[in-house]
Amino acid sequence: MLEIAQAGIAEAVRRGAIYVDVRLEDIDSENIIIREGKMLANHRAREQGLGIRVLANGAWGFSAISEPNLHDVTVAARRAVELAKTAAIVQLQPVSLVHESPHCGIFRTRIDRNPLSVSLEEKLAFLSGIEGKVSAVEKIEQARLMFQATQRRKLFVNSEGSEISQDLMHVNLQLGLWASSSSMMLPLPTLHDTGFGLSASGWDKLDQKAIIDHAIHKASMLVESDSSEQVAVENTEIIFDAEATAALISGTCGPAVELDGVLGAERSRDGQAFLTPEKLGSYAYASNLVNLYSDSTLEGAAGSIGFDDEGVEAQRVNLVENGRFAGYVCSRETARRMGLNRSTGGMRAASWRHLPIIRTANLNLEPGNADSLESMIADTKDGVLLEGPCVMSNDRGRDNFELVAVGGWKIENGRKVRRIKKPIFRGDSSNFWQRCNAIGGQQTWRTFGQYANDKGRPQQSLQQAIGTGPTRFGPASVITMTPQLELIEVMDDSIFAEKDEVQMSSSEAVVPPAEQHQDTDIPASGERVTLKPDQGSEEGTE
């Protein structure tokens, strides 16, 4: 495979490219759907492909092929250079890249047991046991459990000398619930709790008892919420539980700090993010309690990697420090445009057939000093508690937003007094976070994994984790009018097939089985291993 990548690079350089990178991917995945104790679907797919990206005449060109060979990669390289030279005709500003030293390394997700090697019988027994317990909850008409495991072996090679091998494993466990007229998907906690949701982990992280306990709690909450009344509350404190806070962070903070959107790359589709460059370092984005950071090295979190899809090492990036806007998630190109010294390692692609885009990997809110959600409630005289899961929508400037929670509570004198059905909250990111007056401590911190799929043309579905505890905000209002974004999404058995269209082809490809994979030097641990670092030039690619 290295020979194929090097052949593509050589051909692109010969045709006039000044920079080339090649990503080869070998993807193995399995999807299972369980309902009423029966398996509705079991889909196993294997594929292999290559994407080649070139910089020529100051513009990008890209081409992708499946089942790559020496002949096809040469053709793809020529095509990519042709596209770059054509794009250069209308390129407003020539692309240049900030310097990045070449890396030669290996990274592997730390797992004890590969879920793809677990027998189907064992998986069905495990999943059916969960689905059966949740279905038995009173007034739950139907429960549907969906399991997905994906192993992605990646080789990155570029014209600057980088050679990087990664073996990434993701497990995704989602629950669909129906209670009378309501239905919802539960993106439940990952990493620290149960294994529910999306995480970079193996079969060993799935704790059946913890999953059942948490799922029953959410099912009971849905039933109670469905039978309660909608209530409008004005000028009151708003408490978001950890899951609702995760949705809030994902919708209001993540897109706003991605530098391509800030510089107008998404203007035709999503508008321009409001955290513009002149605000960097001085803008009071939040109260001084708030510290936000992106960290793609967090073990087990859905967005964790060793290197991004430009060959830049995974790293922690401070985004908000004591309330002040402090940093962006960026690429080599956007870092150069901003005058930054280095990319933050934020470029990722959903698959070999997609161009990399800037996407926050693991977005985290640092713990505060509130002991628990209960103590936060007890300290609130008049307020509303919003409970996840939630649905978020944003305007084109990534500023104004709407959050619809599946349930909530009215709080009076430090006590939850009555349930609220599907409370809706609207705000604007540019000043809402300034009203944050409490954040849960380390003991309340959870990680929520998801596929973030609201970016790119075509849209790309990329792994992302949000780490947070509960939060509380100063006076605001909760409304009950019809939401602009519908919370209820009717699911069908094609849910994974639709996701496959974004992430992978269902076509079969002849690839070596996992146990015969040739990357025998990949370590058993989840740590990055540097084999032969090259100092390289200190100058960026112009």
CATH of the domain at 49: 3.30.2290.10
Structural domain harbouring 389: 233-479
Is 447 part of any domain?
yes
- pLDDT reported for residue 290: 96
For residues 193 and 332, state if they share a domain: no
The verdict on 127 and 21 lying in the same domain is: yes
Task: Please give the pLDDT value at position 205.
Answer: 83
Specify burial of residue 384 (Cβ count, 10 A radius: 0-12, 13-18, 19+).
buried
CA distances, 417 to each of 368, 474, 489 (Å)? 26, 20, 29
Residue 312 CA to residue 289 CA, distance in Å, equals 31
Query: Facing residues of 314 across strands?
Result: none
**Would you say 206 and 171 are in contact if contact means Cβ atoms under 8 Å apart?**
yes
**Strand blocks (E) in 254-361:** 292-295, 316-321, 324-325, 347-348, 357-358
192 and 166 share one domain = yes
| Lowest mean per-residue pLDDT among 372-386, 390-404, 420-434 | 390-404
Among residues 434, 454, 479, the one where a domain terminates is 479
Length of the chain: 542
pLDDT of amino acid 476: 79
CA dist., res. 191 & res. 358, Å (int): 24
**C-alpha–C-alpha distance, residues 172 and 127, integer Å:** 12
d(C-alpha 40, C-alpha 365), whole Å: 38
Examine the domain organization and report whether 212 and 238 are in the same domain. no
281 Rama sector, left if φ>0, alpha if ψ -120 to 50, beta otherwise: left
The number of domains in the chain is 2
Residue 318 lies in a domain: yes
Cβ(2)–Cβ(163) under 8 Å? yes
pLDDT value for 219:
85
Q: Is residue 533 part of a domain?
A: no
Q: Which of 274-288, 344-358, 446-460 has the lowest mean pLDDT?
A: 446-460
Q: Is position 189 within any domain?
A: yes
Residues 137 and 206 in one domain: yes
Residue 536 above 90 pLDDT? no
Range ranked top by mean pLDDT from 25-29, 183-187, 226-230, 521-525: 25-29
Please tell me whether residues 345 and 201 are part of one structural domain: no
- Taking residues 179-195, report their average pLDDT: 50
Written as six digits, the tokens of 529 are 């291993």
Residues 246 and 326 in one domain: yes
- Percentage of the chain with pLDDT > 70? 83
Instruction: Indicate whether 391 pLDDT > 90.
Output: no
Rounded to whole angstroms, the Cα distance separating 391 from 405 reads 7
Q: Say whether both 259 and 197 belong to one domain.
A: no
Contacts of residue 125, defined as CB under 8 A and 6 or more positions apart, other chains included, come to none
| Residue 518 belongs to a domain | no
Same domain, 41 and 21: yes
pLDDT at 392: 80
- Do residues 10 and 150 share a domain? yes
Mark whether 267 and 375 lie in a shared domain. yes
β-partners of residue 166 are 107, 154
Closest to 238 measured CA to CA, from 454, 33, 403: 403
Same domain, 181 and 246: no
CB 115, CB 150: distance < 8 Å: no
Query: Region 431-447: what's the mean pLDDT?
Result: 93
Q: What is the pLDDT of residue 389?
A: 83
pLDDT at 96: 96
Cα(23)–Cα(49) distance, integer angstroms: 8
How many CB atoms neighbour CB 181 within 10 A? Answer: 8
Secondary structure string (H, E, C) spanning 431-495: HHHHHEEEEECHHHCEEEEEEEEEECCCCEEEEEEEEECCEEEEEEEEECCCCCCCCCCCCCCCH
In a domain, residue 520? The reply is no
475 band by pLDDT with thresholds 50, 70 and 90: confident
The pLDDT of residue 451 is above 90: no
| pLDDT at res. 184 | 55
Q: Decide if 488 is inside a domain.
A: no
> Would you say the C-alpha torsion 333, 337, 342, 343 has a positive or negative sign?
negative
In a domain, 541, yes or no: no
